[in-house]
C-alpha cells in the first residue's frame, strides 16, 4: 500500500524529539522481524505510546498499524492522519470488525500494534490484559512481541496537563522475546504468560530508568511515587465510565 502519510509523520516526530533532547534508550529492537506479520503488544502509560511503540519497529524498517478507538479516527485533526497511516479503528461496542481487519493485516505481512490493557494505566503499573492479541496471532500464524514503554507519561497522560515541550525527558523502550502461539494454543494460558512478560519488562524499564526521584506523580507507589494505587486507579476508571454512560 502507498505510504504517503506515515513516513513524514515519523520524520516530524523524530525531529521534534531531537529538538527537545528526548533521550531514547531502546533494547531488543533486533527482535522485530524485518518481514512478515507480527502482533506488537505494549503497556499503556501515555497518549504518545503509539509513537514510542512504533519507534521500536523503526530500526527494522517496519511500520506498525495500531488498533485505536474509533473516536480518534473521527477527530478532524487526528482522523485523517490515522486513516492515512492505515491504522485500524476499534468500535468497542462491536469489536469483531476490528479483530477481523487486524487478522487480515497480519496475514498480509503487517505488524499490528495493540495496547492489551485497552486504556491508559493511571497507576503506571500493568493492568489485566485482553486475550485479543494472542488470539489474533494464533489465527494469523504470527508471533506476539511484548514491548515495555516508560517515561512518556511525563509528557502527556490521562488526568494530567500536557507537557509536550518538556526537555531532556528519558524514554525507555524494551522489546522482549517473541511468543509463537499456534492454532491449538491455550489462549488463556498464553495471555497470562504474555502479561507476566510485559510486567517483567515494565519492571526492568522502571528500575533501570535514569531519572528515579521519589515523591513525584509520574512514579508508581511501589517505587516511591504518588501515582494512584491500582485500586484507586480502578475506581477513577469506573467513575469515568459512569460519566460517559
- Determine the Cα–Cα distance for residues 36 and 109; give it in Å rounded to an integer: 4
Q: Which helix (H) or strand (E) holds 105?
A: helix 96-107
Which of 32-36, 91-95, 227-231 shows the lowest per-residue confidence on average (mean pLDDT)? Answer: 91-95
119 is written with which cell numbers? Answer: 486504556
Tens of pLDDT, residues 195-223: 999 999 999 999 999 999 999 999 999 99
Closest CA to 115 of 219, 201, 39, 60: 39
Tens of pLDDT, residues 95-141: 689 999 999 999 999 999 999 999 999 999 999 999 999 999 999 99
pLDDT score of 77: 87
Residue 235 domain-assigned?
A: no
What is the domain range of residue 164? Answer: 6-213
Residue where the block lists cell 496537563: 161
Report residue 243's pLDDT band, with 50, 70 and 90 as the boundaries.
Answer: confident
For the chain, state the CA radius of gyration: 17
How many residues appear in the chain? 245
Please, what is the average pLDDT of the chain?
95
Closest CA to 222 of 199, 244, 240: 199
- List, in order, residues 6 or more apart from 146 with CB less than 8 Å away: 41, 42, 175, 176, 177, 179, 194, 197, 198, 201
Beta strands in 82-154 (DSSP E): 88-90, 111-115, 144-150
Q: Are 16 and 163 in contact (CB under 8 A)?
A: no
Residue 218 domain-assigned?
A: no
Q: Are 176 and 148 in contact (CB under 8 A)?
A: yes
Q: Which helix (H) or strand (E) holds 238?
A: helix 230-244
The domain that contains 12 carries what CATH number? 3.40.1130.10
User: How many structural domains compose the chain?
Assistant: 1
Could you tell me which residues are beta bridge partners of residue 26?
173
Residue 93 reports pLDDT greater than 90: no
- Number of Cβ within 10 Å of residue 145's Cβ equals 27
Q: Are 123 and 228 in contact (CB under 8 A)?
A: yes
Residue 241 domain-assigned?
A: no
Q: Are 128 and 18 in contact (CB under 8 A)?
A: no
pLDDT score of 241: 87
- Determine the Cα–Cα distance for residues 101 and 63; give it in Å rounded to an integer: 16
Report residue 92's pLDDT band, with 50, 70 and 90 as the boundaries.
Answer: confident
pLDDT score of 9: 94
Mean pLDDT of 40-46: 98
Tens of pLDDT, residues 63-83: 999 999 999 999 998 999 999
Residue 94 reports pLDDT greater than 80: no
DSSP state of 59: G
- Determine the Cα–Cα distance for residues 211 and 225; give it in Å rounded to an integer: 12
Tens of pLDDT, residues 139-187: 999 999 999 999 999 999 999 999 999 999 999 999 999 999 998 889 9
pLDDT score of 91: 87
Residue 15 domain-assigned?
A: yes
- Number of Cβ within 10 Å of residue 98's Cβ equals 19
Amino acid at each position: 500500500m502507498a505510504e504517503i502519510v506515515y513516513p513524514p509523520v515519523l520524520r516530524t516526530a523524530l525531529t521534534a524529539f531531537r529538538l527537545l533532547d528526548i533521550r531514547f534508550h531502546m533494547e531488543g529492537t533486533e527482535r522485530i522481524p524485518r518481514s512478515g506479520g507480527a502482533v506488537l503488544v505494549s503497556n499503556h502509560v501515555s497518549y504518545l505510546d503509539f509513537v514510542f511503540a512504533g519507534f521500536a519497529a523503526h530500526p527494522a524498517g517496519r511500520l506498525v498499524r495500531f488498533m485505536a478507538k474509533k473516536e480518534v479516527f473521527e477527530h478532524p485533526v487526528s482522523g485523517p492522519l490515522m486513516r492515512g497511516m492505515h491504522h485500524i479503528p476499534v468500535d468497542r461496542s462491536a469489536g469483531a470488525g476490528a479483530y477481523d481487519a487486524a487478522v487480515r493485516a497480519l496475514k498480509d505481512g503487517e505488524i499490528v500494534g495493540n495496547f492489551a490493557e485497552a486504556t491508559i494505566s493511571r497507576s503506571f503499573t500493568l493492568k489485566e490484559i485482553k486475550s485479543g492479541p494472542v488470539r489474533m496471532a494464533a489465527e494469523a500464524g504470527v508471533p506476539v512481541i511484548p514491548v515495555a514503554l516508560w517515561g512518556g507519561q511525563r509528557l502527556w497522560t490521562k488526568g494530567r496537563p500536557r507537557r509536550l515541550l518538556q526537555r531532556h525527558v528519558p524514554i525507555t523502550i524494551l522489546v522482549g522475546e517473541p511468543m509463537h502461539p499456534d492454532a491449538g494454543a491455550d489462549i488463556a494460558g498464553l495471555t497470562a504468560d504474555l502479561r507476566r512478560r510485559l510486567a517483567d519488562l515494565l519492571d526492568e524499564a522502571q528500575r533501570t530508568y535514569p531519572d528515579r526521584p521519589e515523591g513525584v506523580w509520574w512514579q508508581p507507589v511501589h517505587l516511591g511515587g504518588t501515582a494512584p494505587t491500582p485500586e484507586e486507579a480502578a475506581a477513577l476508571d469506573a467513575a469515568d465510565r459512569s460519566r460517559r454512560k
